[in-house]
Amino acid sequence: MTSAPKAVLRFLLLAAANAQVLEWGSQGGSFLGSPSGCNANGGLRILDSRTYCCDINAFATHCLAVLDLEGGKSAIVEQSGLKALLDNGENQAHIECHFHPGKVETADLPRYSWNFQQGTKKGYSVKLQQPAKVAASFIGAYNSVGLVGAGWKNSPQYPMTLGGLKRWSQAYLNDFPAYRTLSWNCQKYSVGVYNAVTHSSKWEKQAVLTGIGKPFAPAIEGSARFSSGQGTNEAVGDVTQWLLPRVGNMSKAMRLHWLKLMASIGQKVERSEEDEDFEDKLRTHPLPGGLDVASADDFMVCWDFVRTGNCPRGSSCRWNHPAK
């Protein structure tokens, strides 16, 4: 069966099953339950975890977690959204586990993940996000790390096995039953798995990256989590580096939003050369369609000066300082 009919059949089977939200039985790229799938291998111990991401369009990125298991086996877990709706009208979250009888390599992942398959067909590459890290003695409970803070909790604890991760994933779905592109998404789940398995505190930045700053603004403008300078600088740097090559696809409204957002960030963290490069490109790079932004007054305003009355660049600032 070709990939397109398989994808259609997969959707129909899921819909007929009234949107099965935890699918834990697939092997070798198959979406059907298998005696050699994740369920049948629930007793295998998890040895380590790593995460991968692949762009699927100019702004959206899909991410998943890979787990190396005892006996040279592997599992891939990922979250997506089903068209089936919850009672409140939101898309239902869906988690899949794919079992692989050997060690999974990067090139294998599009075979298992439909989103990775679509991204690579468009010319995007699968990239390692978090490198492999040895598993802890137990799977910690989910905890939202945000920008700084612990990425897991000590209670409840789950066995460090594929079956234990299934129980952890069901608890995660109980807490986050909807799939929200800008918050409760694949990155939240994959990094959550990584943190819980390895007892790490990696930031779930996909909410920022896919939302182009919308979920980031409240944190910048009021969250106590920005009291940690080092963690904040690292988080901001991650975002600006990711967005820099994508500025050409950003609308005028998005760019102005980010210029104002960066001015807010500048009041709380040390500004880097990369941040300045990002702001410069926001102002000067042609808009989609080849439109020039140089004549747009808003792009030439020093938003640091507008917000605070002071300019961190001093006499070297190239932007306008409007009279109060």
Extract long-range pairs of 314-322: CB within 8 Å, 24+ residues apart. Answer: 319/283
pLDDT of residue 19 exceeding 50, the answer is no
At 188 the pLDDT is: 87
Question: Which strands sit side by side in the sheet containing 91-100, from one edge to the other?
Answer: 22-27, 91-100, 74-85, 61-69, 46-55, 126-134
Q: Of residues 159 and 218, which shows the higher confidence score?
A: 159
For residue 267, what are the CA distances in angstroms to 27, 272, 310?
Answer: 50, 13, 10
pTM of the model as a whole = 0.61
Mean pLDDT of 230-259: 70
Q: Tell me: the pLDDT tens digits for 26-71?
A: 544 434 334 458 999 999 999 999 999 998 876 678 899 999 999 9
Peptide bond into 286 cis (omega under 30): no
Cα-flanking dihedrals φ and ψ of residue 79, to 5°? -115, 145
At 215 the pLDDT is: 39
Write down the domain spans for the chain. Answer: 20-203, 212-316
Q: Which of 41-50, 93-102, 182-191, 200-209 has the highest mean pLDDT?
A: 41-50
Q: Which of 94-103, 142-151, 159-168, 288-297 has the highest mean pLDDT?
A: 159-168
273 Cβ contact list (under 8 Å, min separation 6): none
As given in the structure block, the two tokens for residue 12 are 């129909």
At 208 the pLDDT is: 43
Q: Of residues 204 and 205, which shows the higher confidence score?
A: 204
At 228 the pLDDT is: 31
Give me the chain's average pLDDT, please: 75
Mean pLDDT of 212-217: 40
Q: Which of 32-41, 75-84, 267-276 has the highest mean pLDDT?
A: 75-84
Contact 196, 140 (CB under 8 A): yes
At which residue do the structure tokens 């129909």 appear?
A: 12
As given in the structure block, the two tokens for residue 176 are 């986050």
At 183 the pLDDT is: 60
Contact 62, 90 (CB under 8 A): no
